[in-house]
Amino acid sequence: MLTALQTHPQAGVYFVGLFCRYGALTYVLCHPMGAGRVQTEYLMAQVWWGIFEQLPDLQLGSLTLRNWVVDFTATSGPRVCLPPPDSIRYTIQKASPPLWCYLRRAFDTLPPLVQLVLTMAHIAGWGEERICRWLGEEGEDLGPGGLPPLLQYGHTLIKTKIPPDLAQVYGLSQEATSLA
């Protein structure tokens, strides 16, 4: 599966397959490091982000992939700075670690203003009026009705960066793709 992932980086199903195979193992390893379910899920997502970034160039040498995942989880997990549970907005019910990794990678490629308004709308839960007022105070005037097209633009950009097979696995449509 690792070879398939490295050979076909445009396909998301191989990463999903690796998560299906090793996700429970990483959860068990992350569980003692988190103070409760919320921190454990957050930590697991962070560990899988690290795995996601390492896999394209990973050379196992004499290790098996299972052993590498165990070693990576055991060494990277304790280095994650866990925020207080009430400040964590990630939940595995909204986005499994594979989907979250692809969404995060797509989000990281967006223009800064688009990242900001998506974060304000979806993470902070701000409404259109509050976002526009804050941006205006910062010297960024979107004009009347300027926010909805900018949000839609951000959603569309994210959608185009999610591998089609992954979108199919998670049942994503253009309307459903937003920050998780």
Q: What are the residue ranges spanned by the domains of the chain?
A: 2-92, 109-169
Instruction: Write the pLDDT tens digit of every residue in 126-169.
Output: 999 999 999 999 999 887 788 999 999 999 999 899 999 999 98
- pLDDT at position 115 is 95
More confident site: 89 or 43: 43
pLDDT band per the 50, 70, 90 thresholds, residue 179 = low
- Alpha-carbon span 4 to 59, nearest angstrom: 13
> Does the domain at residues 2-92 carry the CATH identifier 1.10.1740?
yes
Residue 51 class from Cβ within 10 Å (0-12 exposed, 13-18 middle, 19+ buried)? buried
Distance CA 117, CA 130 (A): 11
Planar angle of CA 104, 100, 9, nearest 5 degrees: 75
CA–CA dist 148, 22 (Å, integer)? 39
The pLDDT of residue 175 is above 50 = no
